[in-house]
Amino acid sequence: MREHPFPEELEKFATGNLPAGLFWRTARHLLQGCPLCKTLLESQYKNLLNSPGSQPVVLDRGLSALRSHRRHLRREEIRQRKTAKLLDGGGGCEALVDRSEIPLRGVGMLRALLDRSWAVRHENLREMKELARLAVDVACRLDPRWHGKSNSADWQARAWGELGNAHRASDDLDEAERAFGISFDFFLQGSGDVNLKVRLHDLYASYLGTRRQFDLAFASLDIVHSTYLELGDQHLAGRALVTKAIYLHYSSRSEEALTINQWAMSLIDKDRDSDLLFFSVHNQLWFLVACGRYAEARRELFKHLADLQAIDGQIYKLRLHWLQAQISAGLKNWKSAEEGLLQVKAGFEQEGMGFHAALASLELALVWMRQDRHAETEKMVLEVHEVFVALRIQREAFGAIMVLKEAFERRIGTVGLLEDAVDFLRRWYVNPNERFTPRGE
């Protein structure tokens, strides 16, 4: 989107002859305080007033419309603050529906809905999706008196993009694909705003990654990263790299992921988004563990321990404790690893995260197997088999568990087989197309 109106547009704005859509876009630009356009506009008014047959009535009408637009913006700012306060108090969409004094319309409400939907993305996926869906409804009903065709299309593109991301986070990928398609259709009808464009590509890259279309996701994220750097936003450029590093790890390129993630950490502003800092540090530990660099992982853990422990949320803390236990196991600190994995197993079971609990159980069995505690290992493997039966996991993953069960029932299970099964299930969880190949085959 071009930064300034053309001089001929400012001339038509001054005389009241600018079409409605361009008029409001020009008015919004002027109200932002652009000194260049303000000077040019003042010269246009002076030329009109000094010329024969000047039209003060037209000038008054233009100034009156500008003041009216300013009042409209103030009303929307108030509506945004009221809506945000109500949503921050809990209750989600139901709280808005019950509060008739805050009408479900306007760009102020739309901004508050989108901000809140993004804020709860790690805490409440249901609320995230409901708020994004309501934002789509509000965006579709923006008042044409204040929003031209392109501006309305921009807001609808943004709302549909956020809804697509909410569907993606909820693993409803078909609905996510539909929402992103609608979003990009609206974007093509809009102003072409570069900030909106990079935002949509950022969200769509996450969808591509979830679909395991990693090459397309990498290309999209490279565009996002470079565009944010051009816009002068290093923090969001860093966030794009955090996502790219995760997908590199999912593609079995963990060493590359370490390099990219380290770069991302140098760009992130922790005062702007402490959660993003947590994820980048957590991921660095995760990649180091995947590469078998346990001593380095332990050093990084202690280096960033204060930032890691500052994060709220039981799931976050469980994942951090899990990494600590894996580091201990890699360094052969068996007692620490066992205590950590028992704690993590119980925590995941309490949270209803059956697959994670079962995987932690197998890692615990591997710790025992490495200490020649065969009876405990066999018992745990058989228990995990029953958990996977109850979870009804896909055939390929269940096949790995059946191989384990049969081997340990026949007392021929080995450390190598158990290691292969654990490694496979970790990879299968992020890529269901993985195939289990036990060692020696």
Give me the pLDDT at residue 55, please. Answer: 44
Domain count, the chain: 3
Would you say residue 293 has pLDDT above 60? yes
Q: pLDDT band at residue 335, thresholds of 50, 70 and 90?
A: very high
pLDDT of residue 379: 92
- Is there a single domain that holds both residue 100 and residue 40? no
Question: Does 328 map to a domain?
Answer: yes
Question: Do 106 and 158 lie in a common domain?
Answer: yes
Token duo for residue 3: 């930064």
User: Does one domain contain both 436 and 350?
Assistant: yes
Indicate if 81 and 205 belong to the same structural domain: yes
Q: Which of 211, 227, 255 is the last residue of a domain?
A: 211
Examine the domain organization and report whether 167 and 44 are in the same domain: no
pLDDT value for 59:
45
The parent domain of residue 42 ranges over 1-54
In this prediction, residues 63-68 reach a mean pLDDT of: 57
Q: What is the reported pLDDT for 40?
A: 58
Say if residue 111 is in the same domain as residue 194.
yes
Between the alpha carbon of residue 420 and those of residues 60, 293, 404, the distances in Å are: 79, 18, 10
Same domain for 133 and 18, yes or no, is: no
Provide the pLDDT for residue 163: 96
The stretch 170-190 carries a mean pLDDT of: 93
> For residue 63, what pLDDT is reported?
53
**0.75 exceeded by pTM:** no
Mean per-residue pLDDT, 119-129? 84
**Is residue 351 situated within a structural domain?**
yes
Q: State the Cα–Cα distance between residues 309 and 281, nearest whole angstrom.
A: 11
Regarding whether 18 and 90 lie in a shared domain, the answer is no
25 band by pLDDT with thresholds 50, 70 and 90: low
- Given 168, 193, 211, the domain boundary residue is 211
Q: What local confidence, expressed as pLDDT, does residue 115 receive?
A: 87
Mean of the pLDDT values across residues 134-144?
86
> Does 257 reside within a domain?
no
Residue 271 in domain: no
Residue that is last in its domain, among 160, 177, 211: 211
Asked if 18 and 142 sit in the same domain, the reply is no
Q: What is the pLDDT of residue 66?
A: 56
Residues 107 and 197 reside in one and the same domain: yes
Q: Are 106 and 49 contained in the same domain?
A: no
Comparing 44-58, 164-178, 228-242, which segment has the lowest mean pLDDT?
Answer: 44-58
What is the reported pLDDT for 440?
A: 44
Mean pLDDT of 287-295: 94
Chain-centroid distance of CA 81 in Å reads 24
Shared-domain flag, residues 8 and 42: yes
> pLDDT per residue over 248-264, tens digit each?
998 889 999 999 999 99
Looking at the domain assignment, is residue 282 inside a domain?
no
Q: How far apart are CA 21 and CA 407, in angstroms?
A: 72
85 in any annotated domain: yes
What is the average per-residue pLDDT within 340-357?
91
**Is 342 a member of any domain?**
yes
Residue 244 lies in a domain: no
CATH number of the domain bearing residue 89: 1.25.40
